[in-house]
Structure 1
Amino acid sequence: MYCPACSHDKNPPGADACTNCGLALTHLDAPAPNGPVEASLVTDPVSALDPRPPLTVPLDATLGDAIRQMTTGRIGAVLVTGPGGDLVGILTERDFLTKVAGAPGFEALPVSRFMTPDPETVAPTDVLAFALGKMDAGGYRHLPVVAAGKPVGVISVRDVLRHLTTVCQDG
């Protein structure tokens, strides 16, 4: 790796500092975004998606309570909160299809039995690429946005696509 300060070109690839003069080289090794979409993914925070406020249900809610919230709010996921308001789980449309469908009297069953406990989350300040990577790795369509343990929003794959479409139109 070439050092711009002393012109030393014998630094190993990925070196933290120049072996000749000691100049920090880590900032030179960072990938540079190629185009507006990549720039947005690596620089824009999750908050740029303007996450919608989360619809929540308490841990002791029933599936009937949760599905009414989802239907009324026209959303695909509700966040489950504990007594102090901390996020403890998420219940999604997929959970209803894979875990609940066919359960007799499901409306009275507890959310806690079917929710995904301790879901992956992002902070409002995390970059979009980080959030998208979590969604891809876990196969998630919804990701809670959490600040200080409390849910402050939910983002979806559709939110990311909508944002990137706007970036493409502006670029």
Structure 2
Amino acid sequence: MLVRDAMSTVVLTIGPTHTLQQAAQLMSARRVGAAIVLDPDTCGLGILTERDVLDAVGAGMDTDRETAQAHTTTDVVFAAPQWTLEEAAAAMLHGGFRHLVVLDGHNPVGMVSVRDIVRCWVAQRAAVPA
């Protein structure tokens, strides 16, 4: 099974000036654990995860003042739609993260999470007769 089969194609994209509070509200409303942070001024692409927000809250930061830009991971590991789920899982395990932005060329086309991979593996296993 491939990343394209497991990834979410509707992803949350926010700007670098969104506050962590705004980002958390949008992530909660969409029931997602990560957002793509797109900076049109630098053509930069990053990711903000629930862990980034949690770390800021745990450090006592003001989520109404802290911006996504200050907490965005910019050295992102990207997946390609044609990667296998095993390749994506290995990249996540190696990097110690739970989300991969999926790029087709230079364009973000989705996001794949550990949950997406597990869901596909469980469904695939259930479909195989014992």
TM-score bracket, normalised by the shorter chain, equals 0.7 to 0.9
Q: Given the alignment of the two structures, is residue 169 of structure 1 paired with residue 126 of structure 2, yes or no?
A: yes
**Match of 1:108, SS?**
coil
Q: Is the 8 A contact 2:19 2:67 kept in 1?
A: yes
Where does the alignment leave 5 or more consecutive residues of structure 1 unmatched? 1-43
Q: Is the 8 A contact 1:85 1:150 kept in 2?
A: no
Higher radius of gyration, 1 or 2: 1
Q: Given the alignment of the two structures, is residue 127 of structure 1 paired with residue 81 of structure 2, yes or no?
A: no
Q: Report the alpha carbon displacement of residue 67 of structure 1 after superposing the two structures with TM.
A: 1.1
Q: Report the alpha carbon displacement of residue 63 of structure 1 after superposing the two structures with TM.
A: 1.4
TM-score, length of structure 2 as denominator length: 0.87
Aligned to 1:114: 71
Aligned length: 127
Distance 1:118 1:126, change over 3 A: same
Q: Is the 8 A contact 2:7 2:113 kept in 1?
A: no
Structure scoring higher RCO (CA < 8 A, sep ≥ 6) equals 2
Looking at structure 1, the residues matched to 10 and 43 of structure 2 have their Cα atoms a distance apart, in angstroms, of 15
Residue type at the aligned position of 1:66: A
Looking at structure 2, the residues matched to 107 and 63 of structure 1 have their Cα atoms a distance apart, in angstroms, of 6
Which 4+ stretches in 1 moved above 3 angstroms? 84-87
Aligned to 1:61: 18
Alignment of 1:136-147 (within 5 A): 136-147=93-104
Looking at structure 1, the residues matched to 107 and 4 of structure 2 have their Cα atoms a distance apart, in angstroms, of 15
Identity across the alignment (%): 34
Q: Is the 8 A contact 2:56 2:63 kept in 1?
A: no
Looking at structure 2, the residues matched to 47 and 71 of structure 1 have their Cα atoms a distance apart, in angstroms, of 24
Looking at structure 1, the residues matched to 43 and 91 of structure 2 have their Cα atoms a distance apart, in angstroms, of 20
**Match of 1:117, SS?**
coil
TM-score, length of structure 1 as denominator length: 0.67
Q: Report the alpha carbon displacement of residue 51 of structure 1 after superposing the two structures with TM.
A: 2.2
Q: Report the alpha carbon displacement of residue 136 of structure 1 after superposing the two structures with TM.
A: 0.6
**Match of 2:102, SS?**
strand
